[in-house]
Structure 1
Amino acid sequence: MTRDKQLMMKELPETERPREKMLEKGVKALSNAELLAILLRTGTKNLPVNRLAEQLITKYELSGLANISPPELSKTTGIGLVKAVTVIAGIELGRRLSLKEPGERPIIRSPRDAADLMMAELRYETKEHFVALLLSTKNHVIARAIISVGSLNASIVHPRELFREAISYSAAAVILVHNHPSGDPMPSQEDISLTKQLVEAGNLLAISVLDHVIIGDGKYVSFKEKGII
């Protein structure tokens, strides 16, 4: 059985061997399934590794693989715990690389800048994360502070938690960011009410709340663009 698994990749046609394809054409030429197949390394006696990778992506999508646990993934036929750990570690490494900031602090010039900064970090979270981007007088991001992590449908935010962070970093302004696990970034009435409450509290402290950006699955809504702030 072990020998059979080792031969699975060799038995594929040349054009279907992802490692050889990457060496010949470069990593950007590979599909998501082919990249996943490289992490998996082998399939089963009856299922080539490329097909196994395709089945995983069909079943979970990349967003699902980013959140599944190794024990759960290892329940799939052809994937033991070692393979599951390897796959999830590879996906997490890619996610962290996408979050890596350049040496210079990013500047927020538009709602799109805020959304781009937080999209990779928040779009696949299964709970609501409420984050504050703490800004200098020139809108450089001083820090990103997680204010709360809520349930599937709601997060609990109190003004004192938000502005304690802003004051500790001597922030001149803040941008609120949170995700909707449903993937739909349209604000709820609770989102709007909370935002207005935080804007009022910021005015009392002379710390401007410049925007509230809600992150969905690859899309966002800006309260500033919508005229809510």
Structure 2
Amino acid sequence: MERRTVGGAVGSEGSAGEGSVRETPEGEDARERLFRLGAEALTDPELLGLLWGASARMRALAAELLAPAGGLKALVQQDPRALCARPGMGQVRTAQVLAALELGRRAQRVAERRPRLRTPREIFTYLTPHLGALRREVFHVLCFNARNVLLLDARVAEGTINACMVDPREVFAAAITARATAIVLAHNHPSGDPEPSGQDLSLTAQLLEAGRMLGIKVLDHVVVGNGTYVSMMERGDLPRLGGEERGPWRMAGERG
């Protein structure tokens, strides 16, 4: 996997550019509206421009940055070096943008260290801040006890933009370490389309079989896309792949 670091020219933030940030801005009303109405009242370019000083020039730079990127979601998935190379950017402004987006992503995370997750929708909501904006595929194992409490969320594999090699030993090592009675498999599709691939289905079947041998139930495999997800259990893929009949989706320990 290629590891990317922030790079690019620093000169785009020289004295001339910084001086213009301190001009009396016609965009000052954006800051005033933020305090009066809340940050949600501002547009994406206004919020982004506020990171750089609230001037009209910075707001225009933010709009130019967002338009070709396809919005904030696409912006966070861009390579930092590509952002640095954009006119008016550079390392400092790129770092400010990516840091702000990461803070927003972290703010969405579930506050509880050991939440109870009982449905695919709850699992998707939990996973989105972790997986929703990544530029590469990653594979998580969510380990549960008999009361549906999340004991461990382990990232067991990282791949490329369209592939991720998963070792079943790593999957069940996490479950055994957590002393889990059941697990939910989860991974993301950076393309935004959560439709499981043939390889996804094949891997799931392999892990179902391994789970049966170890006495660890595989409850679901959730594929996270852009604002949506696919639950293999909900769709009926998991029972078919596992060669067993199952009723409605249930977490470990649920009755009925």
TM-score (normalised: structure 2): 0.80
The CA distance in 2 between the partners of 1:125 and 1:206, in whole Å, is: 32
The root-mean-square deviation of aligned C-alpha atoms, in Å, is 1.9
Query: Alpha-carbon deviation of 1:135?
Result: 0.5
1:118 counterpart = 2:103 = no
Aligned residues: 221
**SS at 2:106 equivalent:** helix
Percentage of identical aligned residues: 38
Q: Spell out the pairing of 1:1-16 with structure 2 (5 A cutoff).
A: 1=16, 3-7=19-23, 10-12=24-26
Aligned match of 2:169: 160
**SS at 2:227 equivalent:** coil
Q: Is the 8 A contact 1:40 1:87 kept in 2?
A: no
1:223 counterpart = 2:239 = no
Q: Spell out the pairing of 1:51-200 with structure 2 (5 A cutoff).
A: 51-60=60-69, 61-99=71-109, 101-103=110-112, 105-200=114-209
**SS at 2:195 equivalent:** coil
User: What amino acid does structure 2 have at the position aligned with 1:121?
Assistant: H
5+ residue gaps in structure 1?
A: none
User: What amino acid does structure 2 have at the position aligned with 1:53?
Assistant: A
1:41 counterpart = 2:41 = no
Q: Spell out the pairing of 1:10-25 with structure 2 (5 A cutoff).
A: 10-12=24-26, 17-25=29-37
User: What amino acid does structure 1 have at the position aligned with 2:46?
Assistant: E
Query: Alpha-carbon deviation of 1:206?
Result: 0.8
Q: Is the 8 A contact 2:21 2:58 kept in 1?
A: no
Q: Is the 8 A contact 1:18 1:37 kept in 2?
A: no
Query: Alpha-carbon deviation of 1:104?
Result: 5.6
Deviations 1:57-82 (A, max 9, x none): 11222123223354432322222322
Q: Is the 8 A contact 2:52 2:93 kept in 1?
A: yes
User: What amino acid does structure 1 have at the position aligned with 2:61?
Assistant: L
Distance 1:78 1:218, change over 3 A: same
Q: Select 1:204's aligned residue among 199, 213, 216.
A: 213
Q: Is the 8 A contact 1:212 1:222 kept in 2?
A: yes
Q: Is the 8 A contact 1:134 1:171 kept in 2?
A: yes
Distance 1:220 1:196, change over 3 A: same
The CA distance in 1 between the partners of 2:43 and 2:200, in whole Å, is: 38
